[in-house]
Structure 1
Amino acid sequence: MSRLKISSGIVAASLMLFGVPISAYALVENGASTMSQTPPSVIVFNQKPKNGEINVTYAFMPSAGHFVIYGSNGSGKANDNVVGSVKLDAGAHNDFSVKLDKNLPAGTSLWASLTNSDKQSFWKTSLPLENEFFIK
């Protein structure tokens, strides 16, 4: 047998023994690690409340906490007046509702935010603290 065939056989056997387990290991993902690296996020659109509730299209919570809707001051900036909130577990949440504490007129500016279980915002200064939307 030639040296080339023997060397090729050794290389192929080595790849099968060592390459396949490494490839399989690389495909396994640590879910907890990925979730902690996913930033908090919110998608909510301008809307007319239905039965006193606002529909939230999407929210991602890095850990358990609250989705909070804040009112606004006379100039439309968020204030600390909470007009609705709902407790959420960690993870992604799609199409859920938040009950408003009171009826609000069309054109009202509201702000959506995510807080951890200590009622502290998840966002750092590099990301928005709240997301504005309007009552139609």
Structure 2
Amino acid sequence: MTGEPLREVEAYLQALSRVRSAVQRCHPEFGGLADLLRLYRSGALEKTGTICAGLEYNFHGSGCLFTEIDGAEIDLDFFEEGLEVFDSWRIRRFLMSVDGEPSRSIEEITEVCRSLVSQGRLVEPRSGWFSMAA
């Protein structure tokens, strides 16, 4: 699948990779983003704050919203086993934070994600929830 919808999903995946890299660079003691949620739930980390220069976080329910210095919002949830997951709504929210209004619907974004699942780039551990393949 090529074209605009794929570029929009790729932009979210690149932003998620930047968040992962920033956390690893600034806090190498964390094994991953799920460690942040565990620290928050144990009371060792505040609900909101700055992880490192240019990257803020805000925990919500079973996930976390990361905001980059340019205002890009990368939202994700965690399944019980600590797996980082996102859905089409979160990708669309990211697109709205960087471009104003995304050109694609939730359904079109889901279709692109499922195409990436068939290519082995993403996994779909539960219907409509995606994660980057290991």
Per the TM superposition, whether the score is higher than 0.5 is no
Instruction: State the TM bucket, normalised to the shorter chain.
Output: under 0.3
TM-score of the pair, normalised by structure 1: 0.25
Using structure 2 for the length normalisation, give the TM-score.
0.26
Higher relative contact order (CA 8 A, sep 6+): 1
Which has the greater radius of gyration?
1
**Between Structure 1 and Structure 2, which shows a larger proportion of helix residues?**
2
